[in-house]
Amino acid sequence: MTEIIRLQPHDPLPEATPNAVLLRRFGEDDPKAVVTELDFSGPHAAVLIAVGPGGAPLKWEDAIQEARREAEARGYDTLHVVDRTAGAREQDVLAHGGDHSVHGEGLADTDPEDGEEGSTILDRPHDAGFMR
């Protein structure tokens, strides 16, 4: 049986391949949306969005069990699961309808390796590939 390893909301994802990861996160284009995806790396690489009958999102624990069955069918020994929406800050965002500026706190979105500081496009260096 595939072992389930539960990660904390801000834990890094496993880097070794092959691996199976069930990830719950905010939608990229809609901060109110929550997306659950199942990632397989290695010989059976695939990304699947976890939905139930009729396309409705699965409850988290149901998604974990479905992901375990899929990982087992594909021959993975472990399934890493992480709910990126479960942290204290993330729960506050969810409680405020997806408003990421809750309590007037800005979110830091920096990438020092690429020389990117700040959370808006206006804070990016002129050569970051964005038009101003």
Over its length of 132 residues, how does the chain's per-residue pLDDT go in tens digits?
A: 899 999 998 888 888 778 899 998 877 777 677 888 888 888 777 787 777 677 777 889 999 999 999 999 999 999 999 998 888 777 777 777 766 666 666 555 555 666 656 555 555 555 555 443
Model pTM score: 0.68
Three-state SS sequence of 14-65: CCCCCCEEEEEEECCCCCCCEEEEEEECHHHCEEEECECHHHCECCHHHHHH
Among 92, 93, 99, 129, CA closest to 111: 129
**pLDDT of res. 77:** 92
**pLDDT of res. 64:** 93
**pLDDT of res. 117:** 60
- Distance in angstroms between the alpha carbons of the first and the last residue of the chain: 53
